[in-house]
Every structure is written in structure tokens, then in C-alpha cells.
Amino acid sequence: MQTIQILDSTLRDGAQAEGVSFSVNDKLNVCRALDDFGVDFIEAGNPASNPKDAEFFRAARSLPLKTAKLCAFGSTRRPGVAPEDDASLAALLAAETEIVSLVGKAWDLQVTEVLGVSPEENLELVASSVAFLVERGRTVFFDAEHFFDGWLSDRAYASAVLTAAKNAGAKVLTLCDTNGGTLPFDVYMAVKDAVALADGTDVAIHCHNDTGCAVASSMAAVFGGAVQVQGTFTGIGERCGNADLSVILPNLVLKSAYSCRGDLPALFDTARRIAEISNVSLENNRPYVGKSAFTHKGGMHIDAVLKDPSTFEHVDPELVGNKRRLLMSEVSGRSTIPAKLRRIAPQLTRESPETAEILAALKESERQGYFYEAAEASLELMVTKILGTFRPHFRLVFYKAVGEYPVASGELSAFASIKIEVDGRTEITAETGMGPVNALDLALRKALSVFYPDLAGMQLYDYKVRVLEQSHSTGARVRVLMESGDGRDTWATVGVSNDIIEASLTALVDAIEYKLMKLDAARAAGED
């Protein structure tokens, strides 16, 4: 089984993504995450481009990496400047990394129109820069920028650039689809040519995603003979991004006859760790590491998966650290109910009369606009009510909310009063807030704190409103999705009404009831 090397460029190419900015500490933390996972190489920045990258390489000298090797990135010498006088090459040496990623142009159009030199002079820039670094003990990975455009434009010249780098001592020849516009078949054919030309020197692939083909092209390159794949762990990068290593890695290991270094069961957590540091979100439908990658909603699909997961899952989710999720919705079947509710209702079977009752209630509620796959806490409460196991912790007796304009009392624009009942005792209170929903939230929590002081640690994390009937204008029904948490767990609840305040209060009451139900269960289990 052939081993494919992995070079991660999150800290170099990924840093060029719109909205991404790494601090030195961020870059060190990404290095730790990639090293913990087990990639071979980390292309960590261009020390000549900005002081922050230079500072990072100084700090990284004391970074105890277990498996990964750092690479500093830079360009060939400037025209008319000797290698020993070139600032970029000097910065690469000062970074003190064993490996240097050196980029040079391989497309004749870029050479003459952007760099402004003759094709022959560009070959000399490549050869002298590589040789200069090799002579000073560096291992050079030569990045042939725009190689595939060059291969399609002037195959002989693109090949000559590779030969110049190879003869000067480059250890790896990286074929870059810099524009991201080359389709996988052309990548495959070009890589086969380059591998033959390299004659034993390793060939790498570096793809951008401007046609949505970066992963496919990277796989095609490996099939064509490339032995190193470059990309970013979550696919971030300039324009449409880089090849997504969180997809390529499992494709190589689980789908093809290749091996890679890396802790594949840690893939899910590593992708999220790096995304968090990068301040980007991972789409739910992302292959392998997306929340929805192994999520099933259709009734027939769920029934099949419960019998044999391979019917609708191409790999075991645990192989990449993900997990299977079964959603309950109006398209659920009878098999979904027992599987989904095993934790709270282990007695249910497909044939239980309660199963049919729960499914009917679910479909009717979703017909009215409820949406339980995004609000599982409300779903669980609904089920316990149907099963007769729900014990209400309070009863909302009365509420009133008043907004005002113009705002007369600072920034607090609303007033709410509320009355609740707990075990025959009542509590009436009032609060002001930033709008009627906020005022009601504060008033309800204030009243309940008399009976349930543990609610003090509960917070509202997210609040979304969606109009369900666009033709009804301001009289339309709305759905409120509310995410709450207590520092340990998060849960979501839902409310639907023509009155946005009532819908919000329904979701809020469910959120509090769910928290109190969790506290009861923890006490019963002897937990804190």
C-alpha cells in the first residue's frame, strides 16, 4: 500500500481566505492541532511577506512537534538580484526550517506579462534560487505556479521549468493548479507527464477549488502518480478555497489503495478545532466531518439504516470520528420513533400504539409549522407528554407585555408582567427589557428563581424567527427557534404562533422545562 504525504497549507494559503486572520498564537495552535492529528508537513507562512509570519517562525523554533515538519514559503529571487542579496531567500534561511516551499512561475504568460522577464531568464531564476537554498542545507519543495495553465499553453516550457528545479536539487516538484480552473482529466494527464519527466523525483499536487474540482483533481493526481497532496484542512483559501484535506484524507485511506499518516478517527474533532481557530463555520453537509454527513431523515432510509447501516452510509461514521444521527420529522416512518427515543422511552417498539400516536402528533405539529429536527428538546417534551411521563414544573397563569415608542426610559423599551404557579403557590413579578420578548424572558426567570435557583446558570445562546406564511404579511404565523445552554449542554426548542411574543414564550417555556427535567434526572442519578 503506497503512502501519500500530506502537506497542510492552512497557515499560508488558508490565511489568504477572505475573513481569515491568524495571530501568532492562532498559528501556533493550528500547528499543534495538525501535529496532534499527524500530517507530514505544515506550510506555515511566508516570512518575507509580513512581520507576523517572521515572528511566528521565531516562536515556532521552540514548538515541540511530534510528527509534522514546518515549511517556510517564499518565491524565487527577484530579477537582477543575486541569490545571496535577495531579501526573500534571506528570510527563508532566517526562518530556520528544514524544508522550504519555493514558488516559481511555470506558465509562459505569467513569465513575460507578470514577472516581466524572458522565458530563459525565468529558468535561471528557478535554478539559481533552488541551488542557493540546497547548498545551504535546505530541502526544497519547488512549487511550479500555474503549472497546468502552462502545460496547456506551452507544454515544453512548463516541463523545462520542472527540469530546471529538479536539476538544481529540488526534492519535490509541486504541480500547482493556481487558477483552480483545470478539470480532473487534464490534471491526471499532466501529472502522468510530469511523473515521467521527474524520473524518480517526488511529484506533489496543489489544487484550488475555482471549478469545485479541487478534491477530485487531487485524487486524479494521486492516481496519476503524485505522492504528496497539498491543501488546507478545512478547504479554506483565496477565492473559492483550496483542496479540502478533510475530504481527501479519508478518500485516500478508506476509498483507495493508499495510506496516509494521521489519526483518521480524530478527523471530525480536528476539523472543528481548526475551524474554530480560523473563525470559520463548517457546513453541515460537508463530507465526512459535516454534522449532516451521516444524518438520516427519510423514513425508508432510516428503516434501512437500522437494519444495515451500509444501505445508506458509504463508510462507518466512527472511522472519521463522526456519528450517526436520526431525525424525526413529518417524513419519518414508524421505525424512526423507537430508535430515536431509545434513551427516554426504551420500551417503545415499531408496533407500540404509542409509536403511532407520537408519529401522528409529530406530523400534525409540523403541518402547523413546528420543526423538530432543529428543536429536539421540544420534541422530547412532546413525547413525554404523550407517554404520560411529563411532570410540569410550573404553570404560566398570566402574562402581559407592553412596548413603547419613543423610548422614554433609556434603552429599555418594553415592560412585562407575569404570574406563575408552582405546587399551588403563585408568584407575580415584572421586568423591563430590550423589547417585549426580552422583558418576558427576564420576568419569567425572575419569578421561577424563587422556586428553582439552579436556573441562574441557564442562558439564551441563539434566537431565530422565520415567517411561515408569506402571503399573510404581518399577520402570518411565525416559527421561533431558540437555543439555550447551561455551560455544559445546549438544547433547542421551538414555538409557533401568529403572535411572535406567544411563539417566543412557548419556546422559552419549553427550554426552561427541559432544563428542569435534566436537573431532576441528574439528581435521580446521584449527579451534581
pTM of the model: 0.74
Average the pLDDT over 80-108 and give the result: 96
Are 129 and 121 contacting, i.e. CB atoms less than 8 angstroms apart? Answer: no
What is the three-class DSSP state of 419? strand
Are 426 and 420 contacting, i.e. CB atoms less than 8 angstroms apart? Answer: yes
Q: Are residues 128 and 242 in the same domain?
A: yes
Q: Are residues 88 and 207 in the same domain?
A: yes
- 512 lies in a domain? no
- Where is 167: in which H helix or E strand? helix 155-167
Note the pLDDT of residue 380: 85
- pLDDT interval class at 353 (50, 70, 90): confident
Residue 184 structural domain: 2-262
Average the pLDDT over 21-29 and give the result: 94
- 189 lies in a domain? yes
Q: Could you report the per-residue pLDDT of 492-503, keeping only the tens digit for each?
A: 999 999 899 999
Candidate from 18-22, 169-173, 201-205, 331-335 with smallest mean pLDDT: 331-335
Q: Could you report the per-residue pLDDT of 46-69, keeping only the tens digit for each?
A: 999 889 999 999 999 999 999 999
Note the pLDDT of residue 469: 72
Q: Are residues 379 and 419 in the same domain?
A: no
Average the pLDDT over 348-360 and give the result: 77
Question: Positive or negative, the Cα torsion across 18, 19, 25, 29?
Answer: negative
Q: Are residues 162 and 306 in the same domain?
A: no
Note the pLDDT of residue 329: 56
Note the pLDDT of residue 246: 97
CATH number of the domain to which 44 belongs: 3.20.20.70
Question: Is the per-residue pLDDT at 338 higher than 70?
Answer: no
Q: Are residues 318 and 346 in the same domain?
A: yes
Question: Is the per-residue pLDDT at 528 higher than 80?
Answer: no
- 247 lies in a domain? yes
Note the pLDDT of residue 182: 97
State percent of the chain over pLDDT 70: 95
Q: Are residues 103 and 31 in the same domain?
A: yes
Work out the burial of residue 351: count CB atoms within 10 Å of its CB; fewer than 13 is exposed, 13-18 middle, 19 or more buried: exposed
Instruction: Report residue 27 as a C-alpha cell.
Output: 498559528
Question: Positive or negative, the Cα torsion across 285, 287, 291, 297?
Answer: positive
Q: Are residues 255 and 193 in the same domain?
A: yes
Note the pLDDT of residue 341: 65
Half-sphere exposure of 443 (CA within 13 A, CB side): 28
Note the pLDDT of residue 145: 97
- 523 lies in a domain? no
Note the pLDDT of residue 219: 98
CATH number of the domain to which 314 belongs: 4.10.430.20
Note the pLDDT of residue 467: 87
Out of 335, 351, 386, pick the residue that ends a domain: 386
Q: Which of 90, 91, 119, 93 shows the shortest CA–CA distance to 104?
A: 119
Q: Are residues 80 and 129 in the same domain?
A: yes
Task: Quote helix, strand, coil % in the chain, to nearest 5.
Answer: 45, 20, 35
First to last CA, the chain: 51
- 499 lies in a domain? no
Average the pLDDT over 199-225 and give the result: 97
Note the pLDDT of residue 476: 81
What is the three-class DSSP state of 503? helix
Q: Are residues 152 and 301 in the same domain?
A: no
Out of 411, 431, 451, pick the residue that ends a domain: 451
Alpha helices by DSSP H, listed for 308-466, are: 336-340, 353-368, 376-387, 436-448
Question: Is the per-residue pLDDT at 344 higher than 70?
Answer: no
- Where is 54: in which H helix or E strand? helix 51-60
Top-ranked range on mean pLDDT: pick from 72-81, 387-396, 477-486: 72-81
Cβ-proximal residues to 102 (8 Å cutoff; 6+ apart), any chain: 73, 74, 75, 76, 92, 129, 130, 133, 140, 141, 142, 143, 170
Alpha-carbon Rg for the chain in angstroms: 30
Candidate from 149-153, 243-247, 433-437 with smallest mean pLDDT: 433-437
Phi, psi of 521 (to 5 degrees): -65, -40
Note the pLDDT of residue 129: 98
How far is Cα 114 from Cα 478, in angstroms, rounded to an integer?
Answer: 55
- Give pairs for 432-437: CB < 8 Å, separation 24+: 435/403, 436/401, 436/402, 436/403, 436/501, 437/401, 437/463, 437/500, 437/501, 437/504, 437/505
- 505 lies in a domain? no
Phi, psi of 300 (to 5 degrees): -65, -35
Note the pLDDT of residue 474: 74
Say what angle helices 500-524 and 436-448 make with each other, to 10 degrees.
30
Q: Are residues 86 and 234 in the same domain?
A: yes
Question: Is the per-residue pLDDT at 333 higher than 60?
Answer: no
Number of structural domains the chain divides into: 3
Q: Could you report the per-residue pLDDT of 369-408, keeping only the tens digit for each?
A: 887 777 888 888 888 888 888 899 999 999 999 887 776 6
Strands (E) in 404-442, as ranges, are 414-422, 425-433
Q: Which of 190, 166, 197 shows the shortest CA–CA distance to 176?
A: 190
Candidate from 199-213, 215-229, 278-292, 393-407 with smallest mean pLDDT: 393-407
Out of 238, 262, 286, pick the residue that ends a domain: 262
Q: Are residues 413 and 379 in the same domain?
A: no
Are 257 and 282 contacting, i.e. CB atoms less than 8 angstroms apart? Answer: no
- 522 lies in a domain? no
Q: Which of 364, 286, 358 shows the shortest CA–CA distance to 295?
A: 286
CATH number of the domain to which 431 belongs: 3.30.160
- 203 lies in a domain? yes
Average pLDDT of the chain, as a whole number: 90
Q: Are residues 96 and 120 in the same domain?
A: yes
